[in-house]
Structure 1
Amino acid sequence: MLSQQTRDIVKSTAPVLAEHGTAITSVFYRNMFAAHPELLNIFNHANQAKGRQQTALANTVYAAAVHIDHLEAILPAVVQIAHKHVSLGVKSEHYPIVGEYLLKAIKEVLGDAATDDIIEAWKEAYGVIAEAFIGVEAGMYKKAQEQEHGWNFFKPFIVARKVKESGNIVSFYLKPGDGSRVPDYEPGQYISVRVAIPGEPYTMIRQYSLSQAAKPDEFRISVKREADNDPNGQVSLYLHDVIKEGDTLEVSPPAGEFVLDPAKTTPVSFVSAGVGITPMMSMFETVAALNPGRPTVFLHAARNEKLGAFRNDIESYARQMSSARLKFVYSDQPDGKINKDLLEEYVDLSGDVYVCGPVPFMETVIRDLKALGLRDEQLHYEFFGPALQL
């Protein structure tokens, strides 16, 4: 438990973190990587270059300061981040390193304003928060290891098939290199893929949704080819252009809490855009197989038909269902957007709604759904951005 003095000091620094948070986390990452370059094997280099990781961490530290009296308020965020940490292979021994350089960065940026009392209070608070993460993640590692066909960290998988789904999406069917089976997973979960790209000094890790319902002997991921000049596209280009059938990729166990409850029978709607369709594929296929009478809506937006992946598969699953409504829209055609009117026409507001796609799309759809009366507990989404580190 934190002392009242510590909580008071941490809360009093919240406005300072709001103002200087990104500067602090930028210094933190710079100094930590200089001292521990091996951590670059875990972190997304592109998110570092774009400043997304720095901003995400700053927001998380600020949230911890604001809620220091009731840290249970940030438990959902802790669990979501912990899933990403486990998928990346973050270990308990990484937390003292992060804590050391975070405190040093606070001191470097704030200077004399960061008194000994402030540094000591944040050291104590960080210790409590870190222990929460370590405990949650230890449970997740234990579950991943002990489940049937489970493992921890990364394991070699063979690319059994490589299938072009659209003008910019390719599916990779992955089978364990040791000939074993794969663990069961929840519809909507993801895996991490770790690659060593020739010429690059560090490994790179990217997370991809599992794009089919659970199968006993394989995973499927469906990867969008990013633009050649996008620093975040280095791994996708490598997978598209270099990796061939028969090659080996390192894969982590399934993780994530953006998942479907297959036991529910109430209406459900899936609303996606672009490559955000990938977790919806696993969810929709699962409903079709296990509960084909469930009232279901599938709305998807793409730039054009050439870039619209999986339409034939979705229509095939829908034919197995007694109450499925589908709508595909393309932005190069009239009325080619998923807007508030379309949501009102299709989505059953008495049920659950899952949303995935580019951030601006998700923000607009979530705002429109709430304006139509959808309650927070009915709304399921996850912004697939940087994996935060605390």
Structure 2
Amino acid sequence: MTESQKDLVKATVPVLRESGVALTSYFYNRMLSNNPELKETFNMGHQRSGAQAQALAGAVLAYAENIDDPSVLAPVIELIAHKHVSLNIQSPDYAIVGENLLHSISEVLSISMDDPLIEAWGVAYGQLADVFINAEKAIYEQHQQTKGSWLGWRSFKIAKKVQESSEITSFYLKPSDDGDLPTHQAGQYISVRVLVEELGLKQPRQYTLSDSPQQDYLRISVKREDEKGDLAGGWVSNTLHGLTEGAEIEVSAPTGNFFLFDKDRPNVLISGGVGLTPMISMLNHLASLDMPESVYFYHACRNGKVHAMKSHVQELNAKFPQLTHLVAYEFPETHDQLGQDYDIAGRLDLSALSDDQLPKDADYYLCGPMPFMAEQQKALVARGIPAENIHSEAFGTGGVKLSA
């Protein structure tokens, strides 16, 4: 890019801050109208809620703000590249996105496609697309070289369903072709794609694998998303809950850059709600290794009815003295028993824990709702935990990397 083109892109930053979501909403409506086949690539629930438009608006703004040195966005690019691979996004898709994005900028800002600003954004987008295409090519090649892995979608059957709480059900998935499975990293995720009858479309959704690597199945634990007031339920999640054992779904290969990094260090696993799924995967993996170092498992949820996999963690806690286990119920029910079902009444407050419960030489993993993770991140940094030792993952569109 020329310096004048960079200046033009940077000049759009105030507009993106003010009207970025309006622009990206217009873009998605335009693209999905012109290319309806992409409705089976993009999650329409995220379109309905506006989450996809908000995520893209944030990404476009970040790119414009860092156009002089896009390398600072490398961690975010890596995270999104894994998401794209999980959805089987290919290089030709970037041309479709680029064309619709540039036309959207032109139409929303009421400027000609011949305007120098459109040319500048065309060059900027082309460079960013190349970065993503190359990053994704490397991940695709890694899958090709991994025994048992695959590219794109593969048919799986639901071998078993297990109700874990009033909201969460585990699905044990086995390949329909009875073929091999790859050894994934504890904490990684898959995409599943199901036919949503209400839409008449196949719809994808990403779910973290909730068990340590197994030879003959993949397990996901899915929260049923009921309608609440004006908020609609989750199309994919609720479709899954309605499927019976033996039903077939489409699955992408395990991927993602949020996983257990070092089994030989103390590890602190902090989760909220259904965010416990990657933590259970990590915990089970460490248990399979007889927990070579201390492990701290801290979980927060509303009450005992929604507390998934409680008995499983309690059994591991009894088996491994090096496992410290704390549970916080924000709204305990009358049948919940303090000291047995949970340890803390109210929200999980890391500032109230002792130094022994938050070791400075440990790796920390966070997963759960965004406000929950932001609160725990802030508390850990305030306690002197190095920011580089704190790793986070968010469910939903695009994921997140929290900074100190």
Tell me if the contact between 2:267 and 2:363 (Cα under 8 Å) persists in the aligned partners: yes
Tell me if the contact between 1:228 and 1:237 (Cα under 8 Å) persists in the aligned partners: no
| Change over 3 Å in CA distance of 1:121–1:294 after alignment to 2 | same
Q: Tell me by how many angstroms 1:266 deviates.
A: 2.0
CA distance in 2, matches of 1:232, 1:81: 25
Q: Which moved more, 1:267-276 or 1:199-208?
A: 199-208
The structure 1 residue matched to 2:358, chosen from 347, 352, 370, is 347
Deviations 1:72-121 (A, max 9, x none): 11011111001111111111111011111111111111124987111101
Q: Tell me by how many angstroms 1:342 deviates.
A: 3.8
Tell me if the contact between 1:292 and 1:320 (Cα under 8 Å) persists in the aligned partners: no
| Change over 3 Å in CA distance of 1:131–1:118 after alignment to 2 | same
Tell me if the contact between 1:193 and 1:207 (Cα under 8 Å) persists in the aligned partners: yes
The structure 1 residue matched to 2:345, chosen from 335, 342, 346, is 335
Q: Tell me by how many angstroms 1:232 deviates.
A: 4.7
Tell me if the contact between 1:191 and 1:254 (Cα under 8 Å) persists in the aligned partners: yes
CA RMSD after TM alignment: 1.7
Deviations 1:217-258 (A, max 9, x none): 1100001111135435122221112x1111111100001111
Stretches of structure 1 that go unaligned for 5 or more consecutive residues are none
Tell me if the contact between 1:352 and 1:379 (Cα under 8 Å) persists in the aligned partners: yes
Deviations 1:144-179 (A, max 9, x none): 122101110110011111111111111010111001
Alignment pair present for 1:366 and 2:377: yes
Tell me if the contact between 1:288 and 1:320 (Cα under 8 Å) persists in the aligned partners: no
Q: How high is the sequence identity, in percent, across the aligned residues? A: 41
Q: Which residue in the other structure is 2:234 paired with? A: 233
Amino acid paired to 2:240: L
Any residues of structure 2 matched to 1:218-297 within 5 Å, and which? 218-229=217-228, 230-241=231-242, 243-261=243-261, 263-290=262-289, 292-297=291-296
Amino acid paired to 2:272: A
Q: Tell me by how many angstroms 1:291 deviates.
A: 5.0
Deviations 1:43-67 (A, max 9, x none): 1111111111111101101111111
Q: Give me the TM-score of the superposition, normalised by structure 2.
A: 0.91
Q: Which residue in the other structure is 1:386 paired with? A: 397
Tell me if the contact between 1:170 and 1:240 (Cα under 8 Å) persists in the aligned partners: yes
Amino acid paired to 1:20: S
CA distance in 1, matches of 2:353, 2:86: 33
Tell me if the contact between 1:293 and 1:321 (Cα under 8 Å) persists in the aligned partners: no
Any residues of structure 2 matched to 1:1-390 within 5 Å, and which? 2-112=1-111, 116-229=115-228, 230-241=231-242, 243-261=243-261, 263-290=262-289, 292-333=291-332, 335-344=345-354, 346-387=357-398
| Change over 3 Å in CA distance of 1:145–1:301 after alignment to 2 | same
Q: Which has the higher contact order (CA 8 A, sep 6+)?
A: 1
CA distance in 1, matches of 2:292, 2:164: 28
Tell me if the contact between 1:85 and 1:387 (Cα under 8 Å) persists in the aligned partners: no
CA distance in 1, matches of 2:259, 2:290: 16
CA distance in 1, matches of 2:321, 2:367: 25
CA distance in 2, matches of 1:206, 1:36: 20
CA distance in 1, matches of 2:371, 2:6: 36
Secondary structure of residue in 1 paired with 2:298: strand
Amino acid paired to 1:235: V
CA distance in 1, matches of 2:378, 2:327: 21
Secondary structure of residue in 2 paired with 1:183: coil
Q: Count how many residue pairs are aligned between Structure 1 and Structure 2.
A: 385
Tell me if the contact between 2:275 and 2:395 (Cα under 8 Å) persists in the aligned partners: no
CA distance in 2, matches of 1:266, 1:150: 29
Tell me if the contact between 1:47 and 1:232 (Cα under 8 Å) persists in the aligned partners: no
Q: Give me the TM-score of the superposition, normalised by structure 1.
A: 0.94
Stretches of structure 2 that go unaligned for 5 or more consecutive residues are 333-343, 400-404
CA distance in 1, matches of 2:194, 2:80: 22
Secondary structure of residue in 1 paired with 2:348: coil
